[in-house]
Amino acid sequence: MFDLDGTLVHTAPEIAQAANWMLADLGKPILPIAQVQSYIGEGAVKLIKRCLTGDLHAEPDAKLFETAENIFFAHYANNVVASKPFDGVEAGLQAAQNKGYKLACVTNKPAQFTQPLLQSSGLDAYFEMVVSGDTLPKKKPDPMQLHHICAQLKIDEFEALLVGDSDTDVNAARAAGCFIITVPYGYNQGRAIDNSMVDATINDLTELTSLLTN
C-alpha cells in the first residue's frame, strides 16, 4: 500500500498555489509554500483550517471555513493534474508489480482529486485498488482504510506493508498491524520521522523490492 501526497507525487506546489488563491480571494495574506507543505497529510479539511488559522489544531469560523472550502476545491480542481511523481516512483512501482505484489494506493486526499491525479501522472495502472480520504468514514491515522484494503485483496494485515512519508502513515500502519516503510523526502509537518517507529527507510521507491527480498 502506498500513500500518495509526499510519497508518490510531489503535490505541495499545486496545493500551496490553490491554498494561496483561496486566501487571496478571501482577502487574507498568502503563505510560503513550506508553511502550506507543513499542513499536508491529514486531508483537505484540516489543510484548509490550518491555512485559515496558521495553527495545526485551531478551528476557524464555521461560515468562513465553508466559504474557504468551496473556493479551495474549485481552485485545486484546476491545477491538481499538474503535480508530478517523485524520482524513482514509476520504476519502483513497476518493479513491485513485476514481482507479483498486489498494489494499492491509500490517501487522505478526496477522491475527486485522487483519481485525476493518478490518471494524469500515469500511476493509476499500477494499482488494483485505490482508497481515498472520503471512501470510508475514517482515514489515516485511523487503521480503517488499511483494514479495508487487506480485506478486499484477501491479505492478512501482518503480511501487508504501507509505504509512506509521515507520522500519519506510521500510526495508521501500527494501528492496523501492518509493516511500515518510509521515504525521507515527503511531508511530515516539518518533522523528521522517528526511525525507531518504522521497519525501514528507503531513499526512494527503486530500493523497495530489493529490501523486500532480503
Query: What does residue 162 show for φ and ψ, rounded to 5 degrees?
Result: -110, 130
Half-sphere exposure of 202 (CA within 13 A, CB side): 19
Residue 160 has pLDDT above 90, yes or no: yes
pTM (two decimals) = 0.93
Active site (catalytic) residues: 3
Grid cell listed for 132: 481515498
Residue 9 Cα to chain centre, angstroms: 8
Which whole number is the average pLDDT over 88-94? 97
| 205 vs 214: CA distance, rounded Å | 15
- Strand duo 200-201 + 84-85: pairing: unpaired
What pLDDT shows up at residue 4?
97
What pLDDT shows up at residue 157?
98
Residue 5 has pLDDT above 80, yes or no: yes
Residue 107 Cα to chain centre, angstroms: 5
What's the CATH code, domain 11-82?
Answer: 1.10.150
Domain 83-213 class in CATH: alpha beta
Domains 11-82 and 83-213 share a fold: no
Q: Do 43 and 172 touch, CB atoms closer than 8 A?
A: no
Q: For the chain, which residues make up each domain, given as ranges? A: 11-82, 83-213
What pLDDT shows up at residue 214?
61
Q: Do 21 and 75 touch, CB atoms closer than 8 A?
A: yes
